[in-house]
Amino acid sequence: MTTYETLLRLAYRAPADVAHYLTPATLAAYPTFEQASRAEQPFRFEQWRLGVAASLLRLLADLGDHDEARRAAEVLHRALNTARSPQDIDKQIGKENKLFEQIYTNLYVNDEGEALLDLFARTLDADAPDLLAQVQQEAVDLARELDFDRPADEDE
């Protein structure tokens, strides 16, 4: 199993989530990037990045029952599965720009949540495959350590 697929499976653990979110397009984002022609690589890279970013937001949503992060992850998932170009991705996400801004507004997060937000920001900034692969590996390492059952006020 690739690091990408491991991250997806850590982020989408419930059987209903697996059925809904681990679509063929989502699962194929990284392998398709690896096999893409030079001309297709920019779009396939964006799809891979969407898969990583959606996974991070889903982990954040589940960690703190954060509805905005859950809705933003859904926007990214939809773009991954329906967009046909980088411009189409930008258009779909741009329509929901305020939602992504809300993730950072009035949000209390613990250290793990802050680490997820940092990885999400680094995913958006990653402009080369090696950078995205590094963020992806760090995300897998962090996701394996997350405690989704700990009460939110335990960090205070």
Residue 114 lies inside a defined structural domain of this protein: yes
- Structural domain of 33: 3-145
Confidence bin at 77 (pLDDT 50/70/90): very high
Determine the pLDDT at residue 102. 83
Residue 156 lies inside a defined structural domain of this protein: no
pLDDT tens, residue by residue, 99-146: 988 887 756 567 888 899 999 999 999 999 999 999 999 999 999 999
Residues 6+ apart with CB under 8 A from 128: none
- Domain tally, the chain: 1
Which helix (H) or strand (E) segment is 78 a member of? helix 67-82
pTM attached to this predicted model: 0.92
**Alpha carbon separation from 115 to 16, 125, 142, 151, 153 (Å, rounded):** 26, 15, 8, 18, 17
Confidence bin at 66 (pLDDT 50/70/90): confident
Residue 153 lies inside a defined structural domain of this protein: no
Residues 6+ apart with CB under 8 A from 41: 33
Place of tokens 């997060």: 109
Residue 13 lies inside a defined structural domain of this protein: yes
Mean pLDDT of the chain, nearest integer: 91
Q: How far apart are CA 51 and CA 27, in angstroms?
A: 8
